Amino acid sequence: MSFVNAPIHDLLIRIKNAYMARRTRVDGVVYSNFKVNVLELLKQYGFIIGYDVASEGNKKTISIDLKEVEDEINDIPVIKFYSRPSRRWYISYKEIKPVAAGRGIGILSTSQGLMPSHVAKQKKIGGELIAEIY
């Protein structure tokens, strides 16, 4: 196993690459609570079908179930990263814009937890903009 500087970026890129390769499952993702929160958001907004957490001794891994790719344009997600380990991207609620005219979500880490950008704008909460997915 290799060391990953940006585990959330790795998770999202693994999901995108699996969609591009027409796979329906991503296995062997290292477990973290933050990744599970991101996957919960993706599941809630229909980017993935679901996920399972498996324990092997002390190590936990995540397996992600993906949708079948029928239409390349609409089924393969586009991911735009903002925050990086070397440069955090913080925004106020006034700076939050709709993602892809409302078709996508922005993943925002706030003081009240992880939430989509449109919910953070309604609650008037700013935070770290991690990525946009549409």
Residue 73's pLDDT is 79
Q: Is the pLDDT of residue 2 over 80?
A: no
In tens, the pLDDT along 67-102 reads 998 888 788 899 999 999 889 999 999 999 999 988
* Phi and psi based region of residue 100 (left: phi greater than 0; alpha: psi -120 to 50; beta: remaining): left
**Residues 121-131 pLDDT 10s:** 999 999 999 99
With cut-offs at 50, 70 and 90, classify the pLDDT of residue 5. Answer: confident
pTM attached to this predicted model? 0.90
Question: Is 1's pLDDT higher than 50?
Answer: no
pLDDT in tens, 31-73: 999 999 999 999 999 999 999 999 999 999 999 999 998 888 7
Asked if domains 1-76 and 78-134 share a fold, the reply is: no
**At 45, phi and psi to the nearest 5?**
-100, 10
Query: Span 1-76: which CATH code?
Result: 3.30.1370.30
Q: Can you give the pLDDT at residue 82?
A: 96
Please report how the helices 33-44 and 7-20 are oriented relative to each other, as an axis angle in degrees rounded to 10: 40
For 78-134, the fitting CATH number among 3.30.1490.10, 3.20.20.70, 3.40.50.2300, 3.30.1330.10 is 3.30.1490.10
Going from N- to C-terminal start, the domains of the chain cover 1-76, 78-134
**pLDDT band at residue 3, thresholds of 50, 70 and 90?**
low
| Backbone angle region of 87, left / alpha / beta, with phi > 0 → left and psi within -120 to 50 → alpha | beta
